[in-house]
């Protein structure tokens, strides 16, 4: 780092001492590198999936390359929040980076689909800490009133990574090898370790502590069982099970039972992973409900849009990433602008309301895509979707951080990331199941009778090998394209009303004046509202 020693010392000062904008940016340089790693790998595999499936002949397990990562990053997030509250953020943040880098190297060396899925799950264990702790650490050093401008930068990093991921993945697949989508993490992660070693300092207070490992196992088991249902359901062809099968019913029962036991455990344990009293705060409950739904819709869109562009428009993986740039521009601009506007005005509620409304409209418009949709039309829809998401994601985290006690900051932030990531995991699985189910049906209706016995193989080719699809006879190719378009349109038809539910939850979000202090002292009401007469100087103390 080129920052002077005095500046670094100031950056490590206690949270109550105001930091200058430049000092905060020094800390941010390390945090954003860590967040970049995690956010990039959520989407970088999107354009590489067909190539990976072709190399490993593992199309039947294709979605698990994404789902395994989202599952472990989601399930580990609350545990990271609790551990960082007890042991300090820096060392846990760096531990997460090391886990992530080791898994990235192993994923790049994978020799079959099973190995890749396992190492992607290990990557997710590291990523869960990177996302959560980056947002928690900035909560340690910047008050909510000033945090908007910086949260906007986080939103920008997340947005750029989400869209640059498919672009970078496509470039590396075409230019070098799909393995480099994992190797590229190594220099970025090394830089993050160096920067965080210099600029970060733990602020954790030493005290007796306990970690609810049993609760963690119950949570991971319950979420895993429910995700397996969405990933394996509806495919009675040897790769899954019919929806009414005893296997899926057993998974549903097991998942519900484990989640129920987890909730009971949280009421009884001394230091719960998910403190149930947080759900009494309306700002916490409404924000996380909206975040879950937006995560579901966002990942569904980002994962499947590159496939639409490659299959229907016939573009290369790199070009499919480039054509997602309007989504990145909208998300980037809206995230930064909303963050600055919140810092200036001190109000945040209006942004998630507008954002969820725009996201709903964008999903409805994307359901109108056809083989003849122009680039201008597609770009306009993607720009609108990006603006909508950019006005929501980081603002919801800010609202939660502003509405909880400082001692719960890491836990509450991790839960925000948990619900958003869980939405992404379920969104990838559920919308993937919708796409697969409708694709078989639409192919049956569109194909000539002679080709119908090969429906399953053709469906595999559409998603797994767009290049092979181009070599099909013209009538079959045209029928396959039409079937795929109708199928992905159904995905967005399903996603639009879901995002409308997020809009309804955003209307329930209370407007709490942003604190001017990092720490809190007095109590809010159970709905997160400040007590009568609480002044700004008290920072809406909890």
Compute the C-alpha angle 288/292/295, nearest 5°: 130
- Contact, 30 vs 200, CB < 8 A? yes
Q: What is the predicted pLDDT for the residue at 269? A: 82
DSSP 473-523: -HHHHHHHHHHHHHHHHHHHHHHHHHHHHHHHHHHT----PPPSSSS--SP
Residues 127 and 262 in one domain: no
Number of H helices, E strands in the chain: 21, 0
For the ranges 177-186, 212-221, 500-509, the one whose mean pLDDT is highest: 500-509
Residues 164 and 286 in one domain: yes
Which stretch of 88-102, 108-122, 188-202, 381-395 has the lowest confidence by average pLDDT? Answer: 188-202
**Higher-pLDDT residue of 482, 464:** 482
CA–CA gap between residue 424 and residue 74 (Å, rounded)? 9
Q: Is residue 8 part of a domain?
A: no
CA–CA gap between residue 403 and residue 520 (Å, rounded)? 10
Q: What is the predicted pLDDT for the residue at 503? A: 92
Q: What is the predicted pLDDT for the residue at 324? A: 79
Place of tokens 């705060």: 281
Q: What is the predicted pLDDT for the residue at 11? A: 40
Which stretch of 113-127, 266-280, 283-297, 408-422 has the lowest confidence by average pLDDT? Answer: 408-422
Which stretch of 48-62, 393-407, 525-539 has the lowest confidence by average pLDDT? Answer: 525-539
Residues 238 and 251 in one domain: yes
Which of 270, 294, 319 is the last residue before a domain boundary?
A: 270
The stretch 276-288 carries a mean pLDDT of 86
Q: Which residues pair with 233 in a beta bridge?
A: 241
% of the chain residues with pLDDT over 70: 71
DSSP 291-314: HHHHHHHHHHHHHHHHHHHHHTS-
pLDDT in tens, 30-44: 777 777 777 777 667
Residues 187 and 249 in one domain: no
**Closest to 93 (Cα-Cα) out of 18, 235, 3, 202:** 202
Is a pLDDT exceeding 70 seen at residue 375?
yes
Q: Is residue 507 part of a domain?
A: yes
To the nearest 10 degrees (0 to 180), the angle between helices 474-507 and 350-366 is: 160
CA 468 to chain centre: 31
Place of tokens 């016995």: 453
Residues 503 and 398 in one domain: yes
- Contact, 27 vs 137, CB < 8 A? yes
The SS3 of residue 526 is coil
Q: What is the CA radius of gyration of the chain?
A: 23
Q: Sorting pLDDT into bands at 50, 70 and 90, what band is 476?
A: confident
DSSP 115-166: HHHHHHHHHHHHHHHHHHHHHHHHHHHS-HHHHHHHHHHHHHHHHHHHHHHH
Residues 287 and 379 in one domain: yes
Residues 38 and 70 in one domain: yes
Tokens of 109: 């060396």
Tokens of 216: 């963690």
Q: Sorting pLDDT into bands at 50, 70 and 90, what band is 521?
A: very low
Sign of the torsion angle spanned by Cα atoms 507, 413, 76, 388? positive
CA–CA gap between residue 133 and residue 77 (Å, rounded)? 9
pTM of the predicted model over 0.75 = no
pLDDT in tens, 68-118: 787 777 777 777 777 777 777 778 888 888 998 999 999 888 888 888 888
Q: What is the predicted pLDDT for the residue at 231? A: 66
**Higher-pLDDT residue of 500, 319:** 500
**Higher-pLDDT residue of 7, 382:** 382
Residues 413 and 447 in one domain: yes
- Contact, 330 vs 162, CB < 8 A? no
- Contact, 89 vs 140, CB < 8 A? yes
Q: What is the predicted pLDDT for the residue at 203? A: 56
The parent domain of residue 226 ranges over 212-270
Q: Is residue 354 part of a domain?
A: yes
Place of tokens 């340690």: 140
Q: What is the predicted pLDDT for the residue at 57? A: 63
Q: What is the predicted pLDDT for the residue at 532? A: 32
Q: Is residue 259 part of a domain?
A: yes
**Higher-pLDDT residue of 447, 128:** 128
CATH code for the domain of 324: 1.20.1250.20
User: What backbone torsions phi and psi does residue 233 show, to the nearest 5 degrees?
Assistant: -75, 145
Which stretch of 90-104, 144-158, 177-191, 414-428 has the lowest confidence by average pLDDT? Answer: 144-158
Is a pLDDT exceeding 60 seen at residue 298?
yes
For the ranges 452-456, 495-499, 515-519, the one whose mean pLDDT is highest: 495-499
DSSP state for residue 333 in the 8-state scheme: H
Tokens of 276: 């149930």
* Cβ neighbours of 238 (radius 10 Å): 8
The stretch 375-394 carries a mean pLDDT of 88
Q: What is the predicted pLDDT for the residue at 384? A: 93
Residue 211 Cα distances to 44, 118, 135, 412, 450, angstroms = 33, 25, 21, 16, 61
**Higher-pLDDT residue of 462, 53:** 53
Residues 164 and 261 in one domain: no
Residues 252 and 295 in one domain: no
The SS3 of residue 539 is coil
Residue 410 Cα distances to 265, 405, 407, angstroms = 20, 10, 8
Residues 167 and 252 in one domain: no
Which of 270, 290, 313 is the last residue before a domain boundary?
A: 270
Is a pLDDT exceeding 70 seen at residue 262?
yes
Is a pLDDT exceeding 60 seen at residue 539?
no
Q: What is the predicted pLDDT for the residue at 534? A: 33
Mean pLDDT of all residues belonging to the chain: 74
Q: Is residue 168 part of a domain?
A: yes
Which stretch of 242-246, 342-346, 450-454, 503-507 has the lowest confidence by average pLDDT? Answer: 450-454
Is a pLDDT exceeding 90 seen at residue 216?
no
Q: Is residue 537 part of a domain?
A: no
Q: What is the predicted pLDDT for the residue at 156? A: 64
CA–CA gap between residue 40 and residue 301 (Å, rounded)? 16
Is a pLDDT exceeding 70 seen at residue 535?
no
Length of the chain equals: 542
To the nearest 10 degrees (0 to 180), the angle between helices 49-56 and 113-141 is: 150
User: What backbone torsions phi and psi does residue 71 show, to the nearest 5 degrees?
Assistant: -65, -50
CA–CA gap between residue 126 and residue 101 (Å, rounded)? 8
Residues 380 and 416 in one domain: yes
Q: What is the predicted pLDDT for the residue at 300? A: 65
CA–CA gap between residue 63 and residue 359 (Å, rounded)? 24
Q: Is residue 206 part of a domain?
A: no
Q: Sorting pLDDT into bands at 50, 70 and 90, what band is 529?
A: very low
Residue 157 Cα distances to 122, 242, 413, angstroms = 23, 40, 17
Q: What is the predicted pLDDT for the residue at 13? A: 39
DSSP 176-245: T-TTHHHHTHHHHHHHHHHHHHHH----PPP------HHHHHHHHHHHHHHHHHHHHBT-TTTTSB-TTS
Number of domains composing the chain? 2
Is a pLDDT exceeding 50 seen at residue 541?
no
% of the chain residues with pLDDT over 90: 6
Which run of H or of E encompasses 394? helix 393-402
Q: Sorting pLDDT into bands at 50, 70 and 90, what band is 528?
A: very low
The stretch 473-491 carries a mean pLDDT of 79
User: What backbone torsions phi and psi does residue 308 show, to the nearest 5 degrees?
Assistant: -60, -45
Half-sphere exposure of 154 (CA within 13 A, CB side): 32
**Higher-pLDDT residue of 270, 494:** 494
* Cβ neighbours of 537 (radius 10 Å): 9
Is a pLDDT exceeding 60 seen at residue 255?
yes
Which of 234, 251, 270 is the last residue before a domain boundary?
A: 270
Q: Is residue 539 part of a domain?
A: no
Tokens of 288: 């996380």
Is a pLDDT exceeding 50 seen at residue 362?
yes
């Amino acid at each position: 780092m080129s920052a002077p020693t005095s500046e670094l010392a100031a950056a490590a000062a206690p949270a109550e001492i105001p930091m200058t904008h430049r000092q905060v940016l020094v800390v941010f340089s390390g945090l954003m590198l860590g967040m970049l790693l995690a956010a990039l790998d959520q989407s970088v595999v999107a354009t590489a999936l067909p190539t990976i499936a072709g190399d490993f002949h593992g199309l039947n397990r294709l979605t698990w390359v994404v789902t395994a990562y989202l599952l472990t990053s989601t399930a580990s997030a609350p545990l990271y929040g609790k551990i960082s509250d007890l042991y300090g953020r820096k060392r846990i943040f760096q531990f997460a980076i090391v886990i992530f880098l080791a898994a990235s190297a192993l994923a790049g060396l994978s020799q079959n689909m099973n190995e890749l899925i396992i190492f992607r799950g290990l990557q997710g264990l590291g990523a869960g800490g990177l996302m959560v702790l980056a947002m928690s650490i900035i909560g340690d050093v910047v008050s909510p009133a000033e945090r908007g401008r910086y949260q906007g930068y986080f939103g920008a990093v997340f947005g750029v990574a989400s869209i640059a991921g498919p672009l970078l993945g496509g470039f590396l697949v075409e230019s070098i090898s799909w393995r480099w989508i994992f190797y590229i993490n190594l220099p970025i992660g090394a830089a993050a370790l160096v920067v965080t070693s210099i600029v970060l300092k733990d602020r954790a207070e030493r005290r007796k502590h306990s970690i609810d490992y049993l609760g963690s196992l119950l949570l991971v088991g319950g979420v895993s069982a429910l995700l397996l249902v969405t990933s394996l359901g509806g495919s009675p062809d040897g790769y899954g099970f019919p929806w009414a099968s005893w296997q899926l019913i057993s998974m549903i029962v097991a998942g519900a039972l484990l989640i129920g036991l987890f909730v009971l455990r949280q009421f009884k344990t001394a230091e719960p992973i998910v403190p149930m009293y947080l759900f009494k705060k309306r700002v916490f409950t409404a924000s996380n409900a909206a975040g879950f739904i937006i995560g579901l819709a966002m990942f569904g869109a980002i994962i499947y849009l590159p496939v639409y562009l490659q299959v229907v428009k016939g573009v290369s993986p790199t070009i499919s990433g480039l054509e997602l740039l309007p989504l990145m521009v909208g998300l980037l601009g809206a995230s930064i602008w909303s963050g600055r506007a919140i810092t200036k005005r001190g109000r945040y509620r209006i942004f998630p309301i507008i954002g969820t409304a725009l996201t709903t409209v964008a999903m409805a418009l994307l359901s109108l895509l056809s083989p003849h949709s122009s680039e201008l039309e597609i770009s306009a829809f993607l720009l609108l979707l990006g603006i909508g998401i950019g006005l929501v994601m980081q603002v919801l985290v800010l609202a939660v951080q502003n509405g909880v006690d400082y001692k719960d900051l890491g836990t509450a932030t991790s839960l925000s990331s948990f619900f958003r990531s869980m939405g992404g995991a379920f969104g990838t699985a559920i919308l993937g199941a919708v796409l697969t189910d409708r694709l078989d049906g639409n192919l049956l209706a569109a194909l000539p009778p002679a080709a119908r016995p090969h429906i399953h193989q053709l469906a595999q080719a559409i998603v797994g090998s767009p290049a092979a699809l181009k070599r099909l006879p013209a009538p079959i190719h045209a029928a396959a394209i039409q079937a795929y378009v109708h199928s992905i349109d159904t995905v967005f038809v399903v996603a639009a009303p879901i995002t409308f539910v997020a809009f309804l939850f955003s209307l329930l979000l209370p407007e709490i004046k942003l604190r001017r202090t990092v720490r809190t002292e007095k109590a809010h009401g159970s709905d997160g509202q400040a007590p009568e007469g609480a002044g700004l100087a008290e920072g809406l103390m909890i």
